[in-house]
């Protein structure tokens, strides 16, 4: 049997455990405008019994002009307590599609000091398709005691990214779609240039999963290598606004690769500036293949 990530849990394993006092479930769904889905409305209509809703647009640094900047430890603690979460809880996060936005909350909770967080493999779609219970009843948890201890080393800043482009000290893995990465498709946010950071590798978010389930470890390893990443070297993950980059981070951690960071500003910051280099066309793997043909 293929080995799977220790950071995921199957619907079949979660189902019989609903209602356990230290088990907390969080719906972390979020969608791009083009997907035309309202995550909160869908949660209100149907969710896993006992699940609370995490708002990616609200739990951010309000002082930042960027859409999904990592909040302060104090603000994150306050939001998690309101959701009934504590550091010692076993926390399962999910999204509607599976392996799309739930890994962002997995990453946030982990870098803020949560001890046991997993992602529901297949997401809510798989949960419901397998006949597990759903409800529209609002969850009203008792306040939790979450105390965040922020691991700043897990986050890359704009200054870090400039330095990486200068010295090549880390690989850059971009989770956006291939069309956005190459510049053939426009960015969904106004004011964003199209293209990618020079030297970046494209690892489209959905290339790491099948039907919303994270690929097994060997398949993850193959996908990352085919994208041009060396598993022995440091990696910085990025995407449109820092949400889907966490799927690459989850894949890396699943393979035992912990020398990685997530670029907080991602393309919302890099692509909106006029003083950051942007390249269109293919990434490092395609460039290497082209050079061999010449």
| Residues 6 or more apart whose Cβ sits within 8 Å of residue 56 | 28, 30, 68, 101, 104, 105, 243
Tokens describing residue 66: 């960027």
Catalytic center residues: 239
* Alpha-carbon span 240 to 265, nearest angstrom: 8
Percent helix / strand / coil, the chain, rounded to 5: 35, 15, 50
How many residues are recorded in the chain? 294
User: How far apart, in whole angstroms, are the C-alpha atoms of residue 42 and residue 44?
Assistant: 5
DSSP code at position 72: P
* Strand pairing report for 235-238 and 260-263: parallel
């Amino acid at each position: 049997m293929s080995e799977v990530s220790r950071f995921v849990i199957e619907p079949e394993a979660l189902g019989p455990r609903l209602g356990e006092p230290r088990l907390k479930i969080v719906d972390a769904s979020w969608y791009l405008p083009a997907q035309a889905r309202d995550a909160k409305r869908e949660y209100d209509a149907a969710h896993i019994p006992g699940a609370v809703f995490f708002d990616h647009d609200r739990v951010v640094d309000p002082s930042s002009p960027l859409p999904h900047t990592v909040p302060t430890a104090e603000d994150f603690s306050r939001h998690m307590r309101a959701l009934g979460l504590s550091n010692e809880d076993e926390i399962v996060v999910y999204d509607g599609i599976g392996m799309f936005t739930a890994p962002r909350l997995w990453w946030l909770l982990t870098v803020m000091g949560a001890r046991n967080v997993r992602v529901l493999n297949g997401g809510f779609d798989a949960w419901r398709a397998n006949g597990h219970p759903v409800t529209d009843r609002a969850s009203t948890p008792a306040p939790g005691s979450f105390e965040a201890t922020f691991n700043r080393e897990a986050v890359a800043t704009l200054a870090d990214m400039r330095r990486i482009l200068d010295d090549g000290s880390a690989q850059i893995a971009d989770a956006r779609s291939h069309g956005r990465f190459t510049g053939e498709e426009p960015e969904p946010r106004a004011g964003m240039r199209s293209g990618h950071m020079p030297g970046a590798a494209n690892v489209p978010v959905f290339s790491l999963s099948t039907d919303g389930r994270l690929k097994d470890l060997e398949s993850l390893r193959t996908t990352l290598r085919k994208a041009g990443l060396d598993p022995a070297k440091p990696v910085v993950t990025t995407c449109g606004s820092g949400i889907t980059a966490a799927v690459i981070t989850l894949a890396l951690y699943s393979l035992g690769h912990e020398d990685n960071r997530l670029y907080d500003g991602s393309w919302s910051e890099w692509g909106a500036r006029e003083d950051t280099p942007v390249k269109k066309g293919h990434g490092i793997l395609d460039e290497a293949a082209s050079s061999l043909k010449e």
